[in-house]
Chain A
Amino acid sequence: MSDYIIEMKNITKKFPGIVANDSVSIQIKKGEVYALLGENGAGKSTLMSMLFGMYEPDEGEIYVRGKKETISSPKYATQLNIGMVHQHFKLVSNFTITENIIMGMEPQKKFLGILPYVDVKGSDKKIAELSREYGLEVDPTKRIDEINVSTQQRVEILKMLYREAEILIFDEPTAVLTPQEIEFLLDIIKGLKEAGKTIILITHKLEEIKKVADRCAILCKGKLVDVLDVATTSTKEMANKMVGREVNFEVDKPEPHYGKEVLSVQNLTVKDDNGFDVVKNASFSIRGGEILAIAGVSGNGQVELADAIAGLMPAAGGKIILNGQDITHDNIRKRIDDGIAYIPEDRQKYGLILDFQLKENFPLKNYCKEPFSKKGILNYSEFDSFGEKLIEKYDIRSGQGNKTIVRSMSGGNQQKAIIAREVEQDASLVIFVQPTRGLDIGAIENIHKQIVAEREKGKAILLISLELDEVMSLADTIAVIYSGEILKVADAKTLSVKEVGEFMMGVKGNETKK
């Protein structure tokens, strides 16, 4: 009997074209918080998917509690007391919390001793108890669509606990949470550890590892780089190992030199499909050489605000003025031509045509202009040379260069491609929405540099981000949005993280209003 609850030995997993895991061996002790750290595409999720039975390894062996196991399905993994919280929750939105948790193993009772039925009431009680036991307060009778994201995550955790999981895998659990919610989740993880559970945390956020993890395995390009003791290692060291080079956390940002006003948004109101005001009376302005960051919790109207400026959503009221010209009712192409570049939040749905080749995606906004086409006839040699230039300049990595179908590229490189295209527009206003979402440290660093470089060129930058750190380190001016209203606009230097956080929750804004 070994001391390790889980041992994965020489695991290799290949997908067409890439080796996701290359002879990776990890050993996890019972009762520890074990973090898996790595850039996007480093193979963290693949490794854990094999432990959870979603894939089978091509080579290598998995031992659970010292016994060799072939984990052929998630069902079998559950029998081995392994549970996983996926990055995207797997819940039925019109079921109650209880119904979601018991789904697949519903306790049955018999009415009048014959007719079987699902014992929901009894389960409600059981789940309420379970949630109290681990400090995960939820109301079991609420429906999933009535509760917020962080509660949904708690439901996922309860689902594992209900199935008596001893080994809990969290896949990027904090990606969707606000700073306050992250704190709370980390407390939960600590609590679970105290209750004797073994926890595997997949993440690329170093602070979280520093806060809760005991040991940390670093993966880079499918290979295990090192296993570190978290307490004795600095975050900087971890970051360097993860990226494979020196990482600069601080964003080098020279003093701002503001030019003249580029964008002015005046009393802008935007309605959603249901006629509901999602942006209410928003006003702000951005000068050349200025980064205005909009901070806010997800779903408070940020995306709609950006869409309205770019022309994807109509303005229901107010004015949008670009370089002194009223563009409120112009169409999208006119705005592009007038100088708006836009890096959208959903890079796959809006930013790219995934089934086009890379070179066909670069001129997505310029294909109709010279030199890419003349009188309606495309000039493909121009597509080729432009593509090669951008791939080189922005270090976009892909399997077959220019000819790669974009769908097959990693998220980070897809984002690089969008940023390359938009920056090359040489527009006077560049809108970045969540530019680093889901990206690893190396890519984030790169994108932050790009944003600052654009500012130095005298562009006006509108940055919309859910990452408070990103807002704090990049912004010259911060605007906080809450429930569609801009509660505060102020020089970044005059605001503390705590204050911004409070505005984001709508606390402070309401007080000052009264």
Chain B
Amino acid sequence: MKQKNNSIAKFFVKMLGNEKYQFITIPVFSIIVSLLVGAIVILLLGKNPVEAYGNLLQGSGLLMKEKYAGGKGMLTDFLSFVDYWTPMIFAALAVAVALKAGLFNIGVSGQMLAAGFIASVTVGYSTLAAPIAKPLVIIICFVVGSLVGGLIGFLKHKFNINEVVSSIMLNYIVQYVTAFFIYTKYVDPVSRQSKNIADAARLTLKNVEIGALKGDIPLGIILAVIVAFIIKYVFDKTTFGYEIKAIGFNTNASKYAGINVGKNMVIAMMISGGLAGLAGATYYLGYFCSMQPKVLAATGYDAIAVSLLGNSNPMGILASSFLINIINKGSTYMSSKAGLDAEIASVITGLILLFSACGAYIQYLVKKNKDKIEENKKAKGEA
């Protein structure tokens, strides 16, 4: 038995022991473990986990379905997947920027809605031409989001109001104020949602013909990927990123070093809010084209999980948001196809988060076993 244990330990050390690649091997390992545990849950429900996971990929356009309706294909599903992925990237980046500065922006959903609402009523319902309307939507959303985020940062800096409390409160305010205006001025009597915005203002090109297929082309994804790289650059290479990280780790030492803590906190929250605004743009004026009154987007909350899973690193976030989006987006197809409740997707997401949170512990275990094996080797060598 001991022998067997040893060889298992050796195997894991070999797979995960290289510190240089641990930043990728350990999360991948956690994800595999959580998918295995998720498989057990699905088995317990009497379904085939391989099929269920396959359905998730099919629903996301990453695997061929058995049959498609006319004018639809894998590409259609994939484009729709990307369309839904885009706001998630922005929202998770918003969370990450705040986290780096030691702040917890739980108000991403509210900032998304505020930005989406203002952009809809100003540009969305106007008759501006597409080349003007689309950039204008992006700018307005960024500005509105950063104003809301900046307000949270300012309250924190000036009156030491906990950002979690103020952003939750602001979420409510945004939610009800926008609902009031939608109901009184912009409501579509049939759908009970806000009226659809003009196609010219929309960041997703709907029903574009691509060969024999039709699909939605999300323009925002290009911006999202570029922004992720910009943020990585800012954190890694600029004095501003250095200051933000310093504040995030230790405000006292940052103050001692002469860094203007308050100013940087407000700026970090403005950027975070601005990114949330962009998430709102690609969500309410991209994937969707209207707003449901009194409802906040789940994306804003999922983004917290995505950001943590991606270790607040922009590149990690691109990967983790892709993964979580497969589960979110594919769950509808899975539930109709495999007869599993769509909620099982949330269970899997939860498992992934749970095991990812154990990353440091896994790292510690690997290190311990590695040291042991090396010592045994040494001891043998000496003998």
Contacts and interface: CB of A to CB of B under 8 A. Distances in A.
A and B form one complex = yes
**Interface range, B side:** 20 to 34
B258 A331 contact: yes
Nearest to A342: B256
A383 to B, nearest CB: 10
Given A349-B252, A350-B252, A356-B246, A364 B239 contact: no
B367 interface: yes
A482 to B, nearest CB: 27
Contacts, number: 66
B257 A365 contact: yes
A333 B258 contact: yes
B258 A312 contact: no
Interface in A347-392: 349-356, 360, 364-365, 367-368, 373, 376-378, 380
Interface of B is mostly: helix
B254 interface: yes
Contact of A364 (B238, B252, B257): B257
Interface string B227-258: 00000000001111110011001101111111
Nearest to B246: A353
Interface in B287-343: none
Contact of A350 (B245, B256, B364): B256
Nearest to A407: B249
A380 B241 CA distance: 13
Contacts of A364: 246, 253, 257
B246 A312 contact: no
Contacts of B259: 333
Contacts of A335: 258
Contacts of B260: 331, 333
B249 A368 contact: no
B246 A368 contact: no
Interface residues of A, number: 28
Interface in B258-279: 258-260
Residue from A333, A344, A364 whose CB has the most chain B CB atoms within 10 Å: A364
Contact of A353 (B240, B249, B371): B249
Contacts of A344: 256
A336 interface: yes
A275 interface: no
A87 B318 CA distance: 47
A377 B256 CA distance: 22
B242 to A, nearest CB: 5
A356 B256 contact: no
Interface in A84-133: none
Contacts of B368: 16
B250 A376 contact: no
A332 interface: yes
B239 A376 contact: yes
A312 B252 CA distance: 9
A93 to B, nearest CB: 23
A300 to B, nearest CB: 22
Contacts of A360: 242
A349 B258 CA distance: 15
A353 B239 contact: no
Contacts of B238: 373, 376-378
A462 B184 CA distance: 68
A247 to B, nearest CB: 32
A342 B258 CA distance: 12
B258 A332 contact: yes
A373 B253 contact: no
Interface of B: 237-242, 245-246, 249-250, 252-260, 364, 367-368, 371
Closest A-B pairs by Cβ, 3 of them: A333-B258, A332-B258, A364-B257
16 contacts: A331-B258, A332-B256, A332-B257, A333-B259, A335-B258, A336-B257, A342-B256, A349-B250, A352-B253, A353-B254, A354-B250, A356-B246, A356-B249, A368-B239, A376-B238, A380-B237
Interface of A: 16, 310, 312, 331-333, 335-336, 342, 344, 349-356, 360, 364-365, 367-368, 373, 376-378, 380
Given A16-B367, A377-B238, A378-B239, 17 more contacts: A16-B364, A16-B368, A16-B371, A310-B256, A332-B258, A350-B253, A350-B256, A352-B250, A354-B250, A356-B245, A360-B242, A365-B258, A373-B238, A376-B238, A377-B237, A377-B239, A378-B241
